[in-house]
Structure formats: C-alpha cells, structure tokens
Amino acid sequence: MSYSMWIILTASLVGLSCGLIGVFLILRKQAMMADGISHTVLLGIVLAYMVTQEVSGPAMLIGGIFAGILTAFLVQTLSSLKVRHDASLGIVFTSLFAIGVILISTSVGNVHLDVKHALMGEITFIPFTTMDIPLIGSIPKATALLLLVLLVVIFFIVAFYKEWKITSFDAALAASLGIPVIFFHYLFMTLVSVTTVASFDAVGAILVVAMLITPAAAAYLWTDKLIVMLFLSGGFGVLSAIIGYWIATWLDTSISGSMALATGCIFFVTFLLSPKHGLISRLVRPAELREEQEA
Amino acid sequence: MLSNLLHINTVWVMASTMILGIAAGGIGCLAYWKRQNLMSDALSHAALPGVVVAFLIIQEKNLLLLVIGAALSALLGAFFIQWFTSASRITEDTAMGMTLSVFYGVGVMLLAIANRSPGGNQSGLNNFIYGQAAAMVRSDVITMVVLAAIVIFIIFIAFKEWKLFLFDPDFAKGIGLSIRGMNVLYTIVLVTTIVIGIQAVGVILMAAMLIIPSVSARYWTHSFKMMILLSSVIGGISGAFGTWVSSTGSGLPTGPFIVLTSAAIFAISLFFGKEHGIVIRYIQFKMQQRSSQLDQQVMTGRGGRSQ
C-alpha cells in the first residue's frame, strides 16, 4: 500500500474509534473531560517512560490509561468535596499537565519525548515504523495498535449496549435497575483513555479532541436514534480524515491540523443544513409547527 | 540563587508574571460566578489562529499587534460557542470542546505555513503555545504590564457593577445598568487577560491561572470583595514565585511552575480553608456529633427520671 494510503487509513481508524466513543461523551455531557484526559495522558506517557526507559506501545498504553483514570478519579473526588465540576476538571488537568511538562524538561529531557511532538502529532512518520503480522504482511505499528483499540471499543459498546444507553440517558433509572453506574463511569473513562493514548502518538492531542467531540456533535444534530448516531459519527470521523488529508496536501501544511479543520467544516455544514435541528430548517419552518415542536 | 534573583531580567519577568497573576486572579472570580471556568481554556486555544494570522500579515513579532489578532480570534471563538449553544441543542461544554480543538487545529495549520515563510521559524511564535516568560523582551513586558494594569483597573473601578451583574441581574437592569454592555465588557476583559497571558504561560496552562486562584479564595471567605482581593493576591504570589523557581535552573519552563504553585495553594485551601475546608468540616462534624450525643444522654437521663 502506498504512503498516503497508510496515513489516511490510520487517521480513519482514529476517526472511527473516536467517533464511537464521542457519541457517549456528548450524551453524558462530558465533552470537556476529553480535553482534560487528552492533556493528562502526557503525564502517563512520561511516567511510563521513566519507569521502563523506553517509548514502547504497551508501556505507553498502561501509563496513559493510568493517567486517564487518575484524572477521572481526582475530578470525581473534588466534585464530591463540593468543588464545581468544571472547576475541578480545570484544576486537575492543568496541574497534572504541568507536572508532565516539568518532568519532561528536567529529568527525562529525551529526544523521543517532546511536548511539541506529543501535542501536534507527527502522522507523517507513521508509515516508517512497521511491524510484521502473519497473513497480512508488514503494517505500521501505530496502525496495528489503532486497529486493536477499535476492536476493543466496538466490543465494549456492543457487549454493554443496553447498559451504555440507560446510564447515558437516565442515570437515576439505571441505578434503580441495579446497573453499577459508577463502574460504568470508570469503564467509560478507561475506554476514553485507551482511545486517546493510542491516537495520541499518531495524530496528537488536539486532533484527538476534535475527533472525539465534533463528529459526534454533528451526528447529534442529524438524528434522535442512538444506533444511527453511532454510525453517522464514525462515518463523519472517516470522512474528515479523508477531507483533511486532501486539504493538507493542497495547502502543504499540518495533516492533523487540517483534519481538525475538516471535522469543524462537517459540523458547520450540519449546523446550517440539518433537516431537524439545523439553522435554516428552523428559519423556514412554519411558526405554528415550531411552537408545536418546542412544546 | 540570590544573585539570580537580583538579575535584572528576572526581576522584569517576575514583575510581569506577578501582575498577570493579579489580573487573572481577579477576572477568574468573575468567570467563577458566571460558571464559565472552562471558557478560559476554550478561548485561550481559540486565540492561536489570530496570533499566526497577525504575524503572517505584519511579518514581524510585535506583541501588541499579535495580541490584537489573538483577541479577535478568541472573540470569534466566543461568538461561535454562544451561537451553537443558543441556536441548536448542542450543550455549552460540547460547543467549547469543538471550538477549542478546531480553532487550535487551524492555528497549527497556519503555524506550519508561517514557519515556512522567511524568518518565521525564528519568530518565537511557538512560544505562544507552550509559553516561555523568560524569552520576553523588555517591550513585551511593558505591553503586558500596561494591558494587565488596565484589566485590574476595570475590575476594581466597576466593582459594584460587577457584583450586581453577577448576583442580581434583574435589579441591575432595574437601575439602568446594561446587562448586554456588561457582558461585552466582561468578554473583552477576559479575552485581554487570556491573550496577554498566553505568551508567559502558554495556551494550555492559561486556564489554570484563571481557575485555581478563584476556587482557592472561595475557601477563605464568603464576601465577594474579599474573594476578588484574595484571588488576586494568590494569583500574584503564584506568578512571582513560579517564575522565580523556574529561573533557578536552565531550561525550566515558567508556566508549569506557576500552575503548580497555585495548585499547592489550592491544596492548602482545600484542607485548611476557613470556609468548608476539609479539616474545618471534620471538626464541625465531630462537634456536632458530640453535642448530639450529649443531647441524647440528657434526654435519656430525663426519661429515666420521669419513670
């Protein structure tokens, strides 16, 4: 397969897994949590590096998951101590990120790990580090990792589909039905962290946030059905990867930045044109119908 | 270490981060009561494309013009967030997350283009992302101090109006205060603070300078006036102390040390704060428990006598 195909494939995998996870992020009203976790994952990666002295896939994943769960736990703790939820997120993620940056600049100081690379991502170099997989041949390491993560994400969504649905839409009902809501909260945060870490190395933190939130938000304006929203969101993720790559080659600029822009464009078009919740349909809809819908 | 402290450049930078901390602490209280803590995070990310576009137009690094560019793009971001939340069923945190990531992505795109242009690579534009207060030159410091002083002035001169605006908007409207005007002023002051802070502490950590001091101050007082004062003091101390720590070693970043200083102050406030601190609450709980036990004993005692 050609060089650019690998890049598009890798980014599409990011778009798919982030799109699926993002649907639940939005429905659970925790979009900013994605922003927080995508930053604290840096601390996890640095710690994993300090322990193992190498930048390897499994160690990074474990470090990132640890950091993600730590973030979720600290935010939950501060909230239970009556600090406002958004304030606790702001305090926790900036502090953990600050610790990560200081560790990088002091003890680690290593070429493999610099903040800039981590935040902007270098998807351009993905096809150069490959590994051999029997039956398929050599594929880039990051792509293989993302494929694995996508399978894990799909497995958990399908296996607990009903539980996700109920805990996301009506946590009180879920609790009364005996579904362990807290357990599902942490399981979900673990999935967010896994997706973030795996995508992190490939595309950088900012594109992860864009891919997690924006396609799902666009899908949210198209449909009221969860299953449709999942498919749409994943599809939008893949579409933005392709459009973004095209923009990047056209303007000769950052690939992840362009993909983030593409997610934004898709959302904006949706925002204007969506048949049910779009701006234009709101304007042209007859007044009595509008009242009826809003009532 | 002392000689380091006396170094003239360090003093300059410390003074500027201190004033920045004071301004951010004050405006952070307004954001706290408007329940827009994470708005600062979204707006600081949204400022990036403006910085780069301003640089591409003027082709040199003039802090004032870059700040204006940053402010315009952050205001555009604020407008989008407002628009998405009011015109569709998108919630505010989703709108913030989208705006910050897409604007930032555009900023990174433009930065790649700017770095290709002659002299773009040496312009220190990257400092806007991660923040490097030590890299500021004297004219930058002056620009920053003047703008921060204006922000501080606006917060304190219109103190009564802010209070009405935040806590009793209906009454404020009744006495002829324009809520819309106050909202615009609030957004402008917030954006100004964010964009002047970006160069010192970076896009990501700017949010911490606005959020942490105000939340910490909340643990010590119930009065809005004291909260603003205290929050400004905490911000100022964190700014100065963090800069000093980062100046003691070579290559230490400024922003993270400022953030960790204020995080430490927050931790102290969380435990020992006069109002609702963990220790105080525990003591109150124990006292309550004891007094109710005493009551119980008295009651059962009485009950015994009557029989």
Given a cut of 80, is residue B90 above it in pLDDT?
yes
Whether A134 and A150 have beta carbons less than 8 Å apart is answered as: no
Given a cut of 90, is residue B282 above it in pLDDT?
no
Is B25 within a domain? yes
- Dihedral of alpha carbons A135, A137, A143, A145, sign: positive
A260 with B110: Cβ contact below 8 A:
no
Q: Structure tokens of A225?
A: 């059905």
Mean of pLDDT values over B85-99: 90
Q: Report DSSP letters for A86-113, one per residue.
A: HHHHHHHHHHHHHHHHHHIIIII--TT-
Query: Which of A86, A208, A229, A293 has the most B C-beta neighbours within 10 Å, making it the best mutation to test the interface with B?
Result: A86
Residues 215-254 (A) with a CB less than 8 A from some CB of B:
217, 220-221, 248, 251-254
Number of domains within chain B? 1
Residue type at position A87: A
CB-based contact (8 Å) between B105 and chain A? Answer: yes
CA angle B213, B165, B223 (to 5 degrees): 45
Residue type at position B170: D
The predicted structure's pLDDT at residue A4: 81
Which range among A5-19, B135-149, B240-254 has the greatest average pLDDT?
Answer: A5-19
- Check which CATH number belongs to the domain holding B84 and give it: 1.10.3470.10
Lowest mean pLDDT, pick from A8-22, B16-30, B290-304: B290-304
Residue type at position A286: P
Residue type at position B24: A
Average pLDDT in chain B? 84
Residue B266 CB: number of other CB atoms within 10 A? 26
The predicted structure's pLDDT at residue B229: 93
A90 with B113: Cβ contact below 8 A:
no
Q: What are phi and psi of A138, to 5 degrees?
A: -85, 125
Query: How large a percentage of chain B has pLDDT more than 70?
Result: 88
Is B287 within a domain? no
Residues of chain A with pLDDT under 70: 1, 54-57, 107-138, 286-295
Is B307 within a domain? no
CB under 8 Å to A121, separation ≥6 — which residues? A200, A201, A202, A203, A204, A205, A206, A207, A256
Give the residue from chain A lying closest to B98, CA to CA. A214
Given a cut of 50, is residue B57 above it in pLDDT?
yes
Is B37 within a domain? yes
Which position has the higher pLDDT, B25 or B143? B25
Given a cut of 60, is residue B44 above it in pLDDT?
yes
Q: Which of B103, B32, B242 is nearest to A35 (CA)?
A: B103
Q: How far is B102 from chain A (nearest CA, A)?
A: 5
Q: What gap in Å lies between CA B214 and CA B33, rounded to an integer?
A: 10
Residue B160 CB: number of other CB atoms within 10 A? 11
Running DSSP on this structure, what letter comes out for residue A276?
T
**Residues of chain A with C-beta less than 8 angstroms from the C-beta of B208:** 90-91, 94-95, 98
Q: What gap in Å lies between CA A198 and CA A144, rounded to an integer?
A: 10
Residue type at position B235: G
**Residues of chain B with C-beta less than 8 angstroms from the C-beta of A79:** none
Is B260 within a domain? yes
Place of tokens 């981060």: B17
Mean of pLDDT values over B244-268: 87
Is B145 within a domain? yes
CB under 8 Å to B76, separation ≥6 — which residues? B46, B50
Is B167 within a domain? yes
**Residues of chain B with C-beta less than 8 angstroms from the C-beta of A222:** none
End-to-end Cα, chain B, rounded Å: 77
Range of the domain at B87: 2-276
Q: How far is B300 from chain A (nearest CA, A)?
A: 35
Q: What gap in Å lies between CA A230 and CA A241, rounded to an integer?
A: 17
The strand pair at A137-140 and A130-133 is best described as antiparallel
The predicted structure's pLDDT at residue A244: 92
**Total-model pTM:** 0.85
Is B262 within a domain? yes
Residues 115-134 (A) with a CB less than 8 A from some CB of B:
115-116, 119-120
Residue ranges and CATH numbers for the domains of chain A are 3-121+136-294 (1.10.3470.10)
Running DSSP on this structure, what letter comes out for residue A122?
-
pLDDT one-digit tens code per residue, B153-166: 998 888 888 888 88
Burial (CB count <10 Å: 0-12, 13-18, 19+), residue A141: middle
A98 with B260: Cβ contact below 8 A:
yes
3-state SS, one letter per residue, for chain B: CHHHHHCHHHHHHHHHHHHHHHHHHHHHHHHHHCCCCCHHHHHHHHCHHHHHHHHHHHCCCCHHHHHHHHHHHHHHHHHHHHHHHHHCCCCHHHHHHHHHHHHHHHHHHHHHHHHHCCCCCCCCCCHHHHCCHHHCCHHHHHHHHHHHHHHHHHHHHCHHHHHHHHHCHHHHHHCCCCHHHHHHHHHHHHHHHHHHHHHHHCHHHHHHHHHHHHHHHCCCCCCHHHHHHHHHHHHHHHHHHHHHHHHCCCCCCHHHHHHHHHHHHHHHHHHHCCCCCHHHHHHHHHHHHHHHHHHHHHHHHHHHHHC
A254 with B111: Cβ contact below 8 A:
yes
The predicted structure's pLDDT at residue A111: 45
Whether A7 and A121 have beta carbons less than 8 Å apart is answered as: no
Give the residue from chain A lying closest to B204, CA to CA. A94
Give the residue from chain A lying closest to B36, CA to CA. A86
The predicted structure's pLDDT at residue B3: 53
